[in-house]
Amino acid sequence: MKSFNNKVAAITGAGSGMGRALAKSLASRGCHLGLADINESALEETAKDCRNYNVDVTTYIVDVSNKDSVYTFADDAVRDHNHVNLVFNNAGVSLTDNVEHMTYQDFNWLMDINFWGVVYGSKAFLPHMQKVEEAHIVNTSSIFGTIAVPSQSAYNASKFAVRGFTYALRMELEKTHINVSCVQPGGVKTNIVRDSRYVAPDNAAPTKEEITATFESMANLTSDQAAEKILMGVIKNKAQILVGRDAMFIAILERLAPVLYQKLISRAFS
């Protein structure tokens, strides 16, 4: 896809963070939008910003963990815009807890959004995308889909799963007009940690506020900067879109030292 002008993009998690930044950046390039989020007020705020660019913007309240909700979103977006060229399966959540103490309820909550939301979004839009000349599916994994970190087992599991699913889908569609990319951000200043579920392992563990402050101080990119890098990767039809120098460094580290990095991280968390 050489240009986003006069294309139609469907974006989940569009109410904040990278989803909102992607929507605004695409709108500035003349791309029409079907925006989805579970937070209605945040979604309308994104839509208001995007309408300043004189593009068609529609909004949908969508729970990506619910298959029927996602399929309805796909059908309604295509009905309202006549077609969809790009799908950004971007919605995601975070959970910090140890495997031993983590409840299945929390684990299922995260997997339903982070992994199944991507699967539902990909499958729901695929039949519609087969009817347009140019199409691209963009699934958001994470650099934590490349390396594992203590207390992030559920998040790691979901993002490793998204990465594998997306690469398989890209290979399956290689000889078609539908391109597929896997986005792997490093530290991006979004609300994902602030809005996460956090279970402290003991009384000496840092508070959620302290973890949020640490993450935000270490995050190298703003959501707007991340969105620009993602869209550049889409234009170049990259299979893997690493977002941020930290993501690139970690990807190289895991490739060169797949066992050693685990020891280094374990020491850092001990």
53, 71, 104, 155: which is the annotated catalytic residue?
155
DSSP string computed for 91-141: ----EEB-TTT--HHHHHHHHHHHTHHHHHHHHHHHHHHTTSSSEEEEEE-
Is the torsion defined by CA of 157, 64, 188, 184 positive or negative? Answer: positive
DSSP symbol at 23: H
8 Å CB contact between 87 and 121? yes
Catalytic site residue 155?
yes
Amino acid sitting at position 112: D
Among residues 50, 59, 249, the alpha carbon closest in space to that of 261 is found at 249
36: helix, strand or coil: strand
Query: 49: buried, middle or exposed (CB in 10 Å: 19+, 13-18, 0-12)?
Result: middle
As a whole number of Å, the end-to-end CA separation of the chain is 46
- Rounded to the nearest 5 percent, the helix, strand and coil shares of the chain are 50, 15, 35
Q: Which residues pair with 138 in a beta bridge?
A: 88, 181
List of residues 6+ apart from 168 with CB closer than 8 A: none
Q: Which residues pair with 60 in a beta bridge?
A: 36
Nearest C-alpha neighbor of 137 from the set 122, 123, 158, 124: 122
Active site residues: 155
